[in-house]
Structures are given as structure tokens and as C-alpha cells.
Chain A
Amino acid sequence: MNDVIWLTVRRLRTPLILLISVYFISSSLLVAVPGMDEAGNPVHLSYLEAAYFIAFLSTTIGLGEIPYPFTGAQRFLVFFLIFPNVVAWLYSIGVILGLFLDDQFRATLNRNVFRRRVSRFTEPFFLMCGFGNTGSELARGLMKRGFQLTVIEQDPELVHRRQTEVDFSHLALLAGDTTEQSVLADAGLHRENCIGVIAVTNDNHANLTIAITTKLLRPGVPVYARSQDGRVGDNMRSFGTDVVVDPYVIFAQRLDLALNSPTKYLVQDWLISVPGTKLREALTPPSGHWVVCGGGRFGLRMVQTLEKNDQEYTLVDVRKDRVADCEHGVVGRGTEAPTLQAAGIEEAVGVIAGTGDDIDNLSIIITAKESTRNKKLFVIGRQEQRQNDELFEASGAHLVARPNWIVARSILASATTPGLSKFLNYLIHADEDFARRVEHKLSRCLGGVAPVVWSTELSGTYARGLSAARQEGIEVRLESFLHNTRSGQNEDLRCVCLMLKRGAQELMMPSLELSVIEGDILLFAGRSSAQREVAHALTDPILLLDYATPQRIPRTAIGRFVDRRLRGRKVKSDPAEQQQDPEQDPGSEP
């Protein structure tokens, strides 16, 4: 706030001095020149009258001559007073308005507002640098999951555009240099409740700077960084950046998985889809000759993946140097039919449209489909711009690589559900049986809709039920809270427990008979209704006990007291009867 006041007064110094001088001199002159009252007696204006008159004269309101009509001498004087006064006012107003329109002033003002907003954050928040396509996707995801975040973006124009979007109208957003320490500090880097720094600017080097700054100043805070350059990525990992996301590497891994194990690919795809969208159906990339268009960073990764999986391929690129290293290369544009034919599209099983331009890629897809004899041509397209979603959908590509989207989803998954990336990593390296088991369980409960993935730590409010059960000496198992607690019937909730983490131990796909204890971290995938039900069961001790044991437990404290007394007496008086008659409900509701 201080900066704003100082900036204002420094700019307003000259106009204010001018105003006061002109105002005072004018008033004094007006008092000095005598006027005349109704009776014709000479009379001087009082200071109050003179000051009043000048005030409305100079602001060009002009209420007339008061308190008596002016004499000739007075009019003569006022005539000369009008101009300096009006000019002084207009000048001052101009300076003030100019100040508010001034970019520097507005930037200072915005930064102050931003800093104050961030300092009022009490809940955990993420600090995000970069607000392009990836950033906005990520911000939406984080906000949907109830996280607060502060965002810095280099480009003021982009910031302006984002601020007009409905989703981001209440977001703490600042236009500033993302690599500058003071800007990061303003965005809350040093605050205790900053739970992660996300660097997703378009500039690899800027991301590197953000990562290294964070790791030096706040070693404990996890950093999630985007890097589209292998060397920068290695550099980031070298000083302990927690998650480094290279969209091309990730997509290459996915393609690799799809070629190797369609089941694993399918399960992974389900778990990283946007919750609520339609589930992808099984995908089987064919084996044979591939045509890869575009030999940039994306294309090279694709070629490497194909090579690794013993697939034949032909690389098509306009640049000779890119094709030169390749065994089978064709120089030319993939958008033209002759080039594709030269690359053997007629007999190809698949085409990868991997140039940096969306429209070129779409054109490649269409041309390839027209010039091939293979009706089941497998099409992989690369999409850079979000607004082309529908076009790629309509193009019929089997797989679409969206780098921005991949980065956003990967970071979102590792930042909000750290267990998921561990599970996926396990899945990729596990045997086919495991993958099939997961697929079977998931498909049974999902019903064709992508799941919500969430993790629950059994502590705090989520341990209430468990501690109550322990006091009663009852063992709580996974199955105890994985059925519908509302209906009271033995209906299974539509979710799957993917992983149970106890200390350093991680159990994948734990069996339902497994008993849980306080401090366990559970990873679930399923319907959002199941998420609510699980939370409900865990936070309500009575409900949990209800389902963990066959008996009913009264809701009120008095009821439980009476219940315990009744049970205690029964056990004491006639333990034999109790044993003989296990069917009888031992507790009765008051």
C-alpha cells in the first residue's frame, strides 16, 4: 500500500502546488478589489465569500456573482482569474487521471492487491507460474478439487484475457516476471501454507529458474515443473525437482504401453481421464508399417518408441537433416498425397501426424485416410491448440496427443493424489494378470464413466470412526465401509480401493478383508457418490460401527450408556445364555 501512496503524492506534487498557489492568489485579489452592495456602499468580499466564489469559478460550475452583483473592477479581475484557475484544475485532474491510467501505477496497485490477497490465504495453496493452455487447465482442475492457488503469468495481455473468463474471476492472479524472486515471494513462496510450486510456463529456462529458486529458498516444498527439453529436465531432476513432466516423453510411454499391453494402457487411461467423461474403449494399435509425419521432438520420440517395439516405419519431414539420420525417410510434406504414397501409406497400418501445426496434422490425417487401402488405418494425431478439440474429434484419430493437456493432467494427478502416480508406476511394471484384475474390478463399478480418484488419510476427522471402533474392540476392515451406508442394505459402493499405504509399506489392490488402522492412506477410484459415502462412513463413528459389526448401536450418548449397561448386566448375570443365543440382538434402542 505504501508504494501506491508514495507514487501518487510524488506525481501530484506539481499540480497540487500550482492549485494551492492559484487558488490563494485569486482569493486574495478578489478580497482586495472592492465591490458594491444594493445600497451602493463600497464593500469588500469576505475571505469565505472569495474562496467560495473561486472554488466554483475554477471548477467551471459558475453559480453567478455573489453576494452582490459585481462591479466593473471586480468583473475585470475575475475575467483574468478564470483562465489560470481553470487551467490549473484541468491540469491537476489530467495528472490524476493519467496516474490511474498509467501502466506502472496500475501494476503497482495490482501487485499490492495481489500481495494482500495472498497474505490472507489461510488454507493450503499451490503457487503456479504460467497461465497458458496448460496453466488454465491445471487451475480449473485444482479449483474443482477445492485447492486454492496463486498464479503468476509473464504476459499482461494473457492475464487480462484470463481475468475476463468466468472460471478465473476470483483467482489471485498477477502479471509479473515469473523468474523474479520478489514476485514469487509476493505470490506466497515463503508462506507456511504453500504446499507446492508448479512451473508450467512455455519457457523451459524460466521453469528451471523457478524450480531452482524454490528448491533453494523452500527446500521442503514440492516442485512440479514442465520441461520439453531432455537436458533441462535432467538438470531439474539433479537438484531434486519432485516431478518433471515432459509431455512428449509421457506420450511416447503411453504409446509404448498401448503397443505392449492394451489392458494396462486402458486402465491407465481410465484413471487419468477427466472424471465424468466417457471411458475409452479397448485400443489395439496394429503391428506393421507406420508412417510418421514430422521429425521434431515429438516425432523423434514416436520413432524411438516404434523402433523399441520392432515396428517398421517411414519418417516424413520437410527438413532433409531430420530425415537423413533415418533408415527410411522421405523428404516432403505429409499433407500431400504423393509424399505419403512415397512413404508407403497404401500398405501402412498406422499414421502418426506429429508436426507442430494442428491444421497440417489434420490435413495429414485426412490425406492419409484417403490414400490408403487399409480401412483400419490407426491414426495418431498431435494437437497443440485447445480450440481444435472438435476438429480432432471429428477427424477420427484413435489417439490424440495433447501436450498441454498431458502436462496438466500429470501434474494435477501427482499434486493432488500422490498415490496415483505410484500406483500407475506399479501397474506399468506389473504382470498382465494384475492389470486384468484391476480392469475387471474397475469396469464393473464404473459403468462407462471415468472415475474420480481420491486418497483418504485415516487421521483427524477421518479417524473418528476407527478410534470409536477400537474403543469397542472391533476390527474395521475395508469392506466395513465399502458398502452403501445410507440404504442400509449390503450394497457395495461403486469404488475400488487401489492402494493402501501404511508407513513405508504399499499394498496394491488390497483385499477387502484387510483390516485398516489409523494412519493408513487409502487410494480409491470410483464414482463421486461413492467418495461421499466413504467419507460419510469414516467420519461418523456410529455408522462405521453399525456396519463393522452385526449389531445396531444407539445414536445418542444416553442410548449408548443404557445399551452398555444392559449388555454388561446380561454378560455378568448370564453369560451362558448370551453364548447360546447369539442371534438375539443384545442392544435395544431406547
Chain B
Amino acid sequence: MDYEKVLFAFFIVLALTLNFGFFLGEIDNPAHHDAAELGAALAVSLIATIMKFGDRSQMGALLLATSLVADLQLIVAAVYWAYAANISADGVTSEVIVTVVSLSGGALLANLVSVVLLVSESIVIRR
């Protein structure tokens, strides 16, 4: 068993699951979406991105690209939330939550692609 590969897959899948956990729930209900979970999803996604650095294969490039997309979406979502919570006069309204959750939905899709790529690669190797 390759320890590095376990860690690699772990972070990629964890990024997906955390992202999914945050995404789950009514889209405009702040009670259904936890800021800590968004933060965790972002941190794990960043770590997954860094783990993908340095792989120069075609697959590595694809994985890196999907990860970067997920990072981008999550960062925008987090910054927007932080802006609404701390700076904006209106506070965290349901409109804000809708935007944040839909952004994280995009990240979810990217993470999903990542996992699909990972799984398909391992299947190809198995064969």
C-alpha cells in the first residue's frame, strides 16, 4: 500500500464530502449551512490542490485544473460570506446564502469531476 496515494485520495475525497455536506439543505436557509463546514471545505480543497502540484502527467494536469476551479469557487463564496457578515450593513440575508451555496455547488461539481478522474485512473491501472 502506497502511503502517499492514500493521503492523496483521502484529501480529494474529503474535499468532495465536506463540500457536499455544506451544500446539503435548503438553499436559502442560513441554519442549514454552517460556516465552519465551508471553511473546512476550503482548507481541504487548498491542501488537495497543493498535493496535486508537481505531477506533470496529463492526468495530473486535469486534476490540478479541477482543484483550482473548486478553490476559486469556494474562495469567492467564503469572501462573499465574510463580507456580508462583517462589512455589509444588511448582514447575512437569505440572498447571500443563496449565492454562497450556489457557488459551493459549482465547487462541488468540480470536486466530483476530480473524484471521477481519480477513480477512473485507478480502474485503468487495475486493468
Interface residues of A (CB under 8 A from B): 6, 9-10, 12-13, 16-17, 20-21, 23-24, 27-28, 31, 46-49
Given A6-B56, A47-B82, A48-B85, residue A13 in contact with residue B50 (CB < 8 A): yes
Is residue B1 within 8 Å, beta carbon to beta carbon, of the partner chain? Answer: no
A48–B50 CB distance below 8 A: no
Decide if B117 is an interface residue (CB 8 Å cutoff).
Answer: no
CB of B65 within 8 Å of the partner chain: no
- Chain B residue at minimal CB-CB distance from A10: B54
Known contacts A17-B47, A21-B47; A47/B53 CB under 8 A: no
A-B residue pair count with CB separations less than 8 angstroms: 45
Contacts of B35 in A (CB 8 A): 47
Question: A21-B47, A23-B43, A24-B39 provided; 12 other pairs, C-beta below 8 A?
Answer: A6-B54, A9-B50, A10-B53, A13-B53, A13-B54, A20-B50, A24-B42, A31-B36, A47-B35, A47-B36, A48-B82, A49-B86
Contact A46 B47 (CB under 8 A): no
Report whether B40 and A24 are in contact in the complex, using a CB–CB cutoff of 8 Å: yes
A-B CB contact pairs (8 Å), 20 listed: A6-B53, A9-B50, A9-B53, A10-B54, A13-B50, A13-B53, A13-B54, A17-B47, A17-B51, A20-B47, A21-B43, A21-B47, A24-B39, A24-B43, A28-B40, A31-B36, A46-B85, A47-B39, A47-B82, A48-B82
A17:B50 contact, CB within 8 angstroms: yes
Beyond A46-B85, A46-B86, is A28–B50 a contact (Cβ under 8 Å)?
no
Cα of A124 to Cα of B86 in the assembled complex, Å: 62
State the CA gap A21–B54 with chains docked (Å).
20
Q: Please name all residues of chain A whose beta carbon is closer than 8 Å to the beta carbon of B39 when the two chains form the complex.
A: 24, 27-28, 47
Q: Does B110 contact A (CB under 8 A)?
A: no
Q: Which B residues lie within 8 Å of A48 (CB)?
A: 82, 85-86
Query: Smallest CB–CB gap between B9 and chain A, Å?
Result: 15
Does B46 count as interface, using CB distance less than 8 angstroms? Answer: yes
Smallest beta-carbon distance A479→chain B, Å:
68
Instruction: List, in ascending order, chain A residues with CB within 8 A of B85's CB.
Output: 46-48
| Distance to closest chain A CB from B20 (angstroms) | 18
* B60 CB, nearest partner CB in chain A, Å: 11
CB of B29, distance to nearest CB on chain A (Å): 19
A43 CB to closest chain B CB (Å) equals: 14
Cα-based distance from A31 to B53 in the complex (angstroms): 31
> When A20-B46, A47-B82 are in contact, do A13 and B36 touch as well, CB less than 8 Å?
no
Q: For B47, what are the chain A residues with a Cβ–Cβ distance below 8 Å?
A: 17, 20-21
Complex-state Cα separation, A31 to B82, whole angstroms: 14
Write the chain B residue with the least CB distance to A23.
Answer: B43
Q: Could you tell me if B43 and A13 are in contact, using CB atoms closer than 8 angstroms?
A: no
User: Given A6-B56, A48-B85, are A16 and B43 also a contact pair (CB < 8 Å)?
Assistant: no
Report the minimum CB–CB distance from A201 to chain B (whole Å): 34
Closest-by-CB residue of B relative to A25 is B43
Whether the pair A16, B36 counts as a contact (CB closer than 8 A) is: no
The 7 tightest CB contacts between A and B, nearest first, are: A24-B43, A10-B54, A9-B53, A48-B82, A16-B50, A48-B86, A17-B47
Query: What is the chain B residue whose CB lies nearest that of A47?
Result: B35
Bound Cα distance from A13 to B53, whole angstroms: 7
Instruction: Tell me, in angstroms, the Cα distance from A16 to B39 when the chains sit together.
Output: 17
Q: Considering the chains assembled together, what is the distance between the CA atoms of A31 and B85 in angstroms?
A: 14
Scoring A13, A21, A27, A47 by chain B CB atoms within 10 A of each residue's CB, the highest score goes to A47
Query: Which residues in B have their C-beta under 8 angstroms from that of A16?
Result: 50
Contact A13 B51 (CB under 8 A): yes
A35 → chain B, closest Cβ, in Å? 16
User: What's the least CB distance linking A516 to chain B, in Å?
Assistant: 61
Q: Which residues of B contact A10 (CB under 8 A)?
A: 53-54
B:30-83 near A, CB below 8 Å: 35-36, 39-40, 42-43, 46-47, 50-51, 53-54, 56, 82
Q: Tell me the smallest distance from the CB of B10 to a CB of chain A, in Å.
A: 12
Complex-state Cα separation, A47 to B77, whole angstroms: 14
Tell me the complex Cα distance, A24–B74, Å: 14
Q: Which residues of A contact B42 (CB under 8 A)?
A: 24
Q: Is the CB of B51 within 8 A of A28?
A: no
Name the B residues within 8 Å of A9 (CB-CB).
50, 53-54
In Å, the complex CA distance between A9 and B64 comes to 12
A13 to chain B, nearest CB (A): 6
Chain A residues near B50: list those with CB within 8 A. 9, 12-13, 16-17, 20
Residues on B with C-beta less than 8 A from A24 are 39-40, 42-43
Bound state CA distance, A259 and B86, in angstroms?
96
| Nearest CB in chain A: distance from B13 CB, A | 16
Please give, as numbers and ranges, the residues of chain A lying within 8 Å of B51 by CB-CB distance: 13, 17
User: Roughly how many angstroms separate A31 CA and B40 CA in the complex, as a whole number?
Assistant: 13
- Give the residue among B42, B53, B56, B82 with the most A Cβ atoms within 10 A: B53
Question: Quick one: which of B78-127 are within 8 Å of A by CB?
Answer: 82, 85-86
What are the residues of chain A within 8 A of B43 when measuring CB–CB? 20-21, 23-24
Chain B hits for A31, CB < 8 A: 36
CB distance from A291 to the nearest CB of B (A): 68
Q: B88 CB to closest chain A CB, in angstroms?
A: 12
Contacts of A20 in B (CB 8 A): 43, 46-47, 50
Residue of A at shortest CB range from B82?
A: A48
Chain A residues contacting B36 (CB-CB under 8 Å) are 28, 31, 47
List of B residues within 8 angstroms of A17 by Cβ: 47, 50-51
* B82 cross-chain contacts in A, Cβ below 8 A: 47-48
C-alpha gap A21/B42 in the complex (Å): 11
Residues of B within 8 A of A27 (CB): 39
Residues of B within 8 A of A6 (CB): 53-54, 56
